[in-house]
Amino acid sequence: MSFAGDVKGELCRGKVGRKCCAQAEACGVLLYCNRFSLGEVKIVTESPGFAQRLPGLFRRAFGIEFDEKGDPATPGKRIFSITDPQKLSLLWELCAFDPGGPAHHINFGMLEETHCRLAFLRGAFLAGGSVTDPQKGYHLELATTHLRVSRELTTLLRELGYSPKETTRKSNYITYFKQSEAIEDLLTAIGAPVSAMELMNTKAEKLLRNGVNRRVNCEAANVDKTVDAAVAQRLAIQRLRAAGAWEALSPKLQEAALLREANPELSLAQLAQLCQPPVTKSSLSHRLRKLIQMSEKV
């Protein structure tokens, strides 16, 4: 099962709560499901947990049954539908009624309490939400075909302290998050703390792995720089010998040259400790740089 499927499974393991929260969650489902119109409600899901939760949720919220529930024994997608006019009239009035016409809105009168707002978000995610596997990236979105609902959801989320972004994809209006911390907080709030913890653990592992890779790359780069510098210094010493300029070198420069020839793999700091007496890294660097400058002249 995908990570999004695991999240929905965890959300559905929680019991259907008080009636006000059940109504809020069911309204979230209706406004983010496949179809919610004056003529039909159609909810399509591949989540076994969501399919098992839906009948009890609508029974608790509205006291109604689905006209079609699909075959529980059939694997894959299950379709839940309502076509009875009386049931539809009740759902429309409670969840999406607009006195000015048949337009979809969030019924904020039903979402006065924070626990009801979180229940609404849970229903919206179960019906129209998805979240990316944290191994691949951080992205959570809620998709609906209703423009006003999408805009009102953004307002609701901001009132709860979140900062979502909006976009469109074909005929869907998307409310989404890219920040891992926001996704963790939202999943925890709507009832999926285990999934949120998995996301946090995955992020910590990725940060640790990236940190190790950076250190390894940095050390490798330092080794390459040391090797390149040592090669340049040994070539300079060979040119000075070939040009007969060795005897003209001061004792300190001769010592630095002999140490570099004998220890091509050592860093400047290690080489500086072999001098008699030991010198600082900067002092030895100055001597080796002097050798290179002299070799360029000869």
pLDDT in tens, 244-261: 887 888 888 888 888 888
CB-based contacts of 76-80 (< 8 A; 24+ apart in sequence) = 76/46, 77/44, 77/45, 77/46, 78/44, 78/45, 78/46, 78/51, 79/42, 79/43, 79/44, 80/41, 80/42, 80/43, 80/44, 80/45, 80/51, 80/54, 80/55
Q: 86, exposed or middle or buried, with CB in 10 Å at 0-12, 13-18, 19+?
A: exposed
Most confident of 137-146, 234-243, 282-291: 137-146
3-state class (DSSP) for residue 244: coil
Predicted pLDDT of residue 102: 61
Name the DSSP letter for residue 7. H
* Mean pLDDT value across residues 203-223: 74
Residue 57 has pLDDT above 90, yes or no: yes
Cis peptide before 134 (omega within 30 of 0): no
Q: How many CB atoms lie within 10 A of CB 69?
A: 15
Q: Look at 75-79, 222-226, 263-267 and tell me which has the smallest mean pLDDT.
A: 222-226
Give the model confidence (pLDDT) of 262-287 as tens digits: 888 788 888 888 888 888 988 888 88
* Mean pLDDT value across residues 98-114: 79
Q: With contact defined as beta carbons under 8 Å apart, do 249 and 298 qualify?
A: no
Give the up-direction half-sphere exposure of residue 85: CA atoms within 13 A in the CB hemisphere. Answer: 0
- CA–CA distance, 197 with 188 (Å, rounded to integer): 9
Residue 71 has pLDDT above 80, yes or no: no
Residue 82: pLDDT band (50, 70, 90) is very high
Which helix (DSSP H) or strand (DSSP E) does residue 182 occupy? helix 180-190
Q: Give the relative orientation of helices 114-128 and 3-13 as an angle to the nearest 10 degrees.
A: 140
Residue 142 has pLDDT above 80, yes or no: yes
Q: With contact defined as beta carbons under 8 Å apart, do 80 and 126 qualify?
A: no
Residue 208: pLDDT band (50, 70, 90) is confident
Q: In sequence order, what are the beta bridge partners of 81?
A: 42, 68
Predicted pLDDT of residue 204: 79
* Mean pLDDT value across residues 58-73: 87
Predicted pLDDT of residue 237: 84
Predicted pLDDT of residue 292: 85
Q: In sequence order, what are the beta bridge partners of 173?
A: 144, 168
Q: What percent of the chain has pLDDT over 70?
A: 96
Mean pLDDT of the chain: 87
Higher model confidence: residue 231 or residue 158? Answer: 158
Residue with tokens 């500086």: 272
Q: What percent of the chain has pLDDT over 90?
A: 45
Q: Look at 102-111, 217-226, 239-248, 281-290 and tell me which has the smallest mean pLDDT.
A: 217-226
Predicted pLDDT of residue 101: 58
Residue 95 CA from chain centroid, whole number: 32
Q: With contact defined as beta carbons under 8 Å apart, do 43 and 141 qualify?
A: no
Predicted pLDDT of residue 127: 95
3-state class (DSSP) for residue 179: coil
Higher model confidence: residue 176 or residue 109? Answer: 176
Q: In what order do the strands lie in the sheet with 172-177?
A: 129-131, 140-144, 172-177, 165-169
Residue 99 has pLDDT above 60, yes or no: no
CB-based contacts of 272-277 (< 8 A; 24+ apart in sequence) = none
Amino acid at 278: P
* Mean pLDDT value across residues 217-242: 78
Q: Is 123 left (phi over 0), alpha (psi -120 to 50) or beta?
A: alpha
Q: How many CB atoms lie within 10 A of CB 102?
A: 10
Residue 83: pLDDT band (50, 70, 90) is very high
**In terms of Cα–Cα distance, which of 122, 96, 115, 91 is closest to 107?**
96
Give the model confidence (pLDDT) of 7-44 as tens digits: 999 999 988 878 999 999 999 999 999 999 888 999 99
